[in-house]
Amino acid sequence: MNRITTNNPVNAMSIIELAHNCMYLKNQEAWYRDHDTDIPLRHLVHNMAVSMNIELPEVDDDAFDDVIYEMLYYGLEEPEGRLALFYRMGWAMAELREYLKEYEDTGIAPEQYVRMRLNVWKSTADDENIIDKLEMLRFFNQRAGRELWADKEKEVQDKDIENADRILNNAIDLIKAN
């Protein structure tokens, strides 16, 4: 697995690393960084607003977020809407980077994670005889489960049972295969 997140100093990052790590969280606040800037996202957006001749009220952080959120209603046709979209995308990118960083810090590749989940299912199946329980659930769903849908039309009931049966069959096949 190639790591995307990094805590390297900006001058040690490639342009691609910087693109992936330019938004980050610091003290639970979204920040922006590049080669000559390291600034809270709210301050960056305020500076951008000034350069775009958009007046923003002097308010606390929560009120600032509300003001920017309301600016989304301008849409992309207006500078206010584009600024609000930039802000929303910036804090989202910062939060996503932190979640990805936590995942990458585990050192577990996606393929390993899938195998781990399958092994948990398999050990659960061995330990608790889960396959028998799933097969019993499938039987119950086909026979007694119709009472739960007494007010639904038969076609809706049949579709519900078909979907539940498909899901249970997939789970059983998955467990048996591993």
Q: What is the CA radius of gyration of the chain?
A: 26
pLDDT digits (tens, 9 = 90+) for 133-173: 666 556 555 545 555 555 667 777 677 677 667 667 777 77
Instruction: Please state, in angstroms and as integers, the Cα–Cα distance from residue 91 to each residue in 14, 20, 25, 98, following that order.
Output: 22, 13, 8, 11
What pLDDT is recorded for position 57? Answer: 92
Q: In what order do the strands lie in the sheet with 23-26?
A: 23-26, 29-34, 37-40
pLDDT digits (tens, 9 = 90+) for 56-105: 999 998 899 999 999 999 999 999 999 999 999 999 999 999 999 988 88
Q: Is the pTM of this model over 0.85?
A: no
pLDDT digits (tens, 9 = 90+) for 112-135: 766 666 665 555 555 455 666 666
Tokens of 10: 């900006």
Cα–Cα distance for residue pair 38/57, rounded to 1 Å: 23
